[in-house]
Amino acid sequence: METVRLMGAFSPNPRLEPLLDGTVRIPGVDIQWQFGKPPDLHQRHLTENSFDLFEFSLSNFMITRSQPAQLKRLRWMAIPIFLTKAINWLDFTVREDSGITSLADLAGKRVGIPDYHMTAAIWMRIVLKELYGIRPQDIEWFNGRPPGVSHGRDVGKALSPGITLLRAKQPGELEERLSRGEIDATYADSVTRAALMRVQSLRPLFGPGEGAEVIGAYRRKTGIIPVNHVLLVQQQLVEQDAAMAMRLYTAFETSKQKAYERALRFAAGYLLFAEDAFARQAAVFGDDPFPSGLAANRSMIETLARESFEEGLLGSMPDIDALFCETVRST
């Protein structure tokens, strides 16, 4: 089999290590790996489209596919490998004078987010609605990424009635509004985290383990662990080699399973009762916290798509199967 060299772009991920060190190989494929921060890589994908295989925001992928001009330019297809979970919004910071002591207190507040349409932000709103009955219309939102940095220049211009969204016009505006008390709470991304540390009178909303309790409660109620990023491939590659999608799927899934084995083996290097710690997580999140395949994740994808549609981020509900390469739709 002739070997095809693919340019790959990912954020650091221990579940990719067996692929990186050669323990797991992909027949006929040699990946040239590049790593970086998700906001930077996502912007490159949207503007340069220079990688063959990469991780990408699940919500932004659906939004991109729904826009005819973008769909013509960015011919991407998904493989049901879900590389990261949408839990980064739990790095949540509140003003000390905001009166916010839990997520239940966010109704009526002013909340900053990096991008309103980003996957983690949508999952935050889904969790707020499901666990606390707080609708997107019950919060005044502030989009912290200004034009040129935001990943969705024209996204969110037709939001559903009652949703209030203000947008930063320049870098640093989110931190300035927090300092002046014009925003009550926010969550940081890798770009804004350092800047927020310089703002006075802020404190984290969650103590150790409390964020995990929120996601655990959502999982117990819905059976879903929110996903952030999905694996994408250039459509022309699978058009040229229809079997490539399944080879990629199998290799990434095998790499993940090898990483699980390593995690259990090496955990004893620090944890006194490693097996107990793994069992406690499994009791809440299952034996496979990063399940692959379309069948195991269809409900999760539909939930994210439905919220995006109801908020006006999508004009219609997408055909979930059509998002994925044809040869891996049965996974």
Q: How many domains does the chain have?
A: 2
**Digit-coded pLDDT (tens) for 81-127:** 999 999 989 989 999 999 999 999 999 999 999 999 999 999 999 99
Looking at the structure, tell me whether residues 114 and 197 fall in a common domain: yes
Looking at the structure, tell me whether residues 212 and 254 fall in a common domain: no
322: CB partners within 8 A, 6+ apart: none
Q: Which of 170, 198, 222 is the last residue of a domain?
A: 222
Q: How many CB atoms lie within 10 A of CB 159?
A: 18
Predicted pLDDT at 329: 96
Predicted pLDDT at 193: 66
Q: Which of 222, 253, 284 is the last residue of a domain?
A: 222
User: What is the span of the domain harbouring residue 179?
Assistant: 88-222
Q: Which residue reads 């990424």 in tokens? A: 145
Q: How many CB atoms lie within 10 A of CB 163?
A: 18
Please provide residue 233's backbone torsions phi and psi, each rounded to the nearest 5 degrees. -140, 150
Rounded to an integer, what distance in angstroms lies between the CA atom of residue 198 and that of residue 196? Answer: 5
Predicted pLDDT at 173: 87
Rounded to an integer, what distance in angstroms lies between the CA atom of residue 199 and that of residue 148? Answer: 24
Pairing of strands 110-113, 185-187: parallel
Record the tokens describing residue 110, joined without a space.
């002013």
What one-character DSSP code corresponds to residue 104?
A: G
Rounded to an integer, what distance in angstroms lies between the CA atom of residue 143 and that of residue 115? Answer: 5
Looking at the structure, tell me whether residues 176 and 243 fall in a common domain: no
pTM of the model: 0.94
What one-character DSSP code corresponds to residue 324?
A: B
Torsion-angle region of 99 (φ positive above 0: left; ψ -120 to 50: alpha; else: beta): left
Looking at the structure, tell me whether residues 294 and 316 fall in a common domain: yes
Asked if 206 and 221 count as a contact pair (C-beta separation under 8 A), the reply is: no
Predicted pLDDT at 223: 96
Residues of the chain with pLDDT under 70: 148-156, 190-195, 197-198
Predicted pLDDT at 213: 95
Alpha helices in 48-91 (DSSP H): 58-66, 68-73
Q: Which of 190, 222, 254 is the last residue of a domain?
A: 222
Measuring CA to CA, how many Å separate 303 from each of 5, 15, 234, 307? 35, 25, 25, 6
